[in-house]
Amino acid sequence: MNNVYAAIVCGSSLLIALSGSARAQYFASQGNAAGAAENIEGFTVAGKASVSAKPNLMEIDLEVSASSELSADAIVKYRDARRRLHDAFTGLKLENIAVEERGLLVDQKGMMMNPYYFNGFPQNNRNKTEVQLARKLVVKGSNIRQMDEEAVLQLIAKLLDVAQDAGARIGSQPEFNPYVYNPYNRSSSGLVRFVLDDIGKLEEQAYEKAIEDARARAERLARLSHVELGSVVGVRELIVPGERNVNADEDTAHKRLESAKFQEIPVRVELLVRFEVHPQPKGKERAANP
């Protein structure tokens, strides 16, 4: 019984000590005998900001493929399909339209994931393997920020019609087992992606506003705590715009924001900022507490 009582008393004392130190944070130097004298008393606050802009780029995923039991025939069919698609978009003669190619996939036709087989794939009972060649292409339309919605819609319709007439398959074709959960598989949310990839200037504005927001919060705490706010002594990024995991099929990693809708895309920043605080001079302290 005495042990239980002692444990309750110790726990209560610890809670009181923690609640008493919650008004400010102290950071001691590690491995320094004079750490107590070098502690920094201050406020740590979150600063948030958001800056929006219309997308400047749109992307449409396409796939061109050909298959045959003879590898040579599959190559000929694939080359013809690829050339026909490139000629179709070249014939549009639009300066802001470009077609980028991704890696070539050499596979067996019809190899789809099947949950009723042990390894996810059925056994190949055909005498000959049908070779399939496939390549992903991305049609990019740049400088769309200054275009109105009707002009963007007409451009998208023209690109989709040309792609279908040329025999391309529209939309991304993810290869995954729908019966197995995988958080890294991103399902397609639309035929068109609207991209904001020139976020450098917007990101700078968002960071500046986030610091201002953090300072405003810290100044309010300092005023209520009757201390003077000092300089920034530490910053930690909580939310950084445009950072994403890039697949092996994609081009070099760079910051960009995507949306399935043609609308302004927000560039959000959230920071954790630590400020120094100093005791108020006696004159100000008396004025604050007459």
Domain boundaries along the sequence of the chain:
41-55+197-290, 57-196
What are 248-268's pLDDT values in tens digits?
555 545 689 999 999 999 999
Q: Considering only 37-51, 58-72, 137-151, 211-225, which range has the smallest mean pLDDT?
A: 37-51
CA 144, chain centre distance (Å): 21
Q: Provide long-range contacts, Cβ within 8 A and 24+ apart, for 80-88.
A: 81/167, 81/168, 82/135, 84/166, 84/167, 85/137, 85/163, 85/166, 85/167, 85/168, 87/166, 88/162, 88/163, 88/165, 88/166
Higher pLDDT, 105 or 109: 105
Read off φ and ψ for residue 246, nearest 5 degrees.
Answer: -105, 130
CA 82, chain centre distance (Å): 32
Place of tokens 């600063």: 47
Place of tokens 């008396």: 286
Residue 6: band (very low, low, confident or very high) from pLDDT cuts 50, 70, 90: very low
CB-based contact 196:139 (threshold 8 Å): no
pTM: 0.70
Residue 144 Cα distances to 10, 112, 122, 151, 265, angstroms: 66, 38, 46, 9, 14
- What is residue 82's predicted lDDT score, i.e. its pLDDT? 95
> For the chain, first and last CA: distance in Å?
51
- CATH number among 3.30.70, 2.60.120, 3.30.1120, 3.40.50, domain 57-196: 3.30.70
Predicted confidence (pLDDT) at residue 8 exceeds the cutoff of 50: no
206 Cβ neighbours under 8 A, 6+ residues apart: 49, 50, 51, 241, 267, 268, 269
- What is residue 25's predicted lDDT score, i.e. its pLDDT? 43
What are 172-188's pLDDT values in tens digits?
765 544 444 444 444 44
- In angstroms, the CA 207 to CA 273 distance is 12
- What's the CATH architecture for 41-55+197-290? 2-Layer Sandwich (3.30)
Residue 280 Cα distances to 4, 54, 284, angstroms: 45, 47, 6
DSSP 287: H
- What is residue 109's predicted lDDT score, i.e. its pLDDT? 82
Place of tokens 């529209």: 170
Read off φ and ψ for residue 61, nearest 5 degrees.
Answer: -85, 135
Q: How many CB atoms lie within 10 A of CB 227?
A: 20
**Sheet of 40-53, strands arranged across:** 25-27, 40-53, 265-279, 227-239
Place of tokens 């002692």: 6
